[in-house]
Amino acid sequence: MQRYNGILSGIIPGEKRKMKIVSICGSQRKHGNTEKILKEFQKQFESLNIQDFKYKFFNIAEMNVYPCSACQKCTKKDNCIIQDDFGKVALKMLQSDLIIIGSPVYFSDVSAQIKALFDRTYSLWHKKMLKGKNVIFVAACAEYGTGHTIDTMRHWARDHEMNIIATIEGVSEKKGHVLDNEMTLKTISDAVRACEGIITPNQ
């Protein structure tokens, strides 16, 4: 079984797991477009007939996830030595069948909160602890810049050898109105359907 910060993650190789999703929002804006898309994912997954479905939502903008200090201590240990909320998020990532990460677009890239999270997963990279994990990326902007933001997310996932299920680009100048766009709703629905292979249905 894997550990993170001394906590058993409960993962057993080859174990038949139920559907567990962790959703991570990197927006400072409460009820903004990034959060709206992530909540829509939750709504659509909850509408499916999934056995023991669990959906954990984190807004790391409201948590203490500090930047990587480049101390390299994680190369000799199984975890990051910085004492903050990263351990909670990392543990859920390790336990989940699907990881959904959403970021607003700031100067055509991810928010500072998401970048800090990405950099801190260096502590998981050495032993390839995220290898094979399924991930969906969400980028929300007012006008443009989602392309480079998604590229940043893709590069992070590829470094960890993760499986990218889908990418969602939400565009809206108004706070909380991103789901007014029918195409955005369709891409979310398509992404949910693409996850069929990792869902354990009710028997």
- The amino acid present at 17, given as its one-letter code, is R
* DSSP symbol at 54: E
Q: What is the pLDDT along the chain (203 residues), one digit of tens a residue?
A: 444 453 334 444 444 447 999 999 999 988 888 999 999 999 989 888 787 889 999 999 999 999 999 999 999 887 899 999 999 999 999 999 999 999 999 999 999 999 999 999 999 999 999 999 999 999 998 777 788 999 999 999 999 999 999 999 887 777 767 777 888 889 999 999 998 877 654 45
- Domain ranges across the chain: 20-196
For the chain, the 3-state helix, strand and coil shares in percent, each to the nearest 5, are: 35, 20, 40
Tell me the CATH architecture of domain 20-196. Answer: 3-Layer(aba) Sandwich (3.40)
Pairing of strands 54-59, 134-141: unpaired
Q: CA separation (Å) from 159 to 46, 119, 126, 150, 177?
A: 31, 11, 11, 14, 33
Determine the pLDDT at residue 111. 96
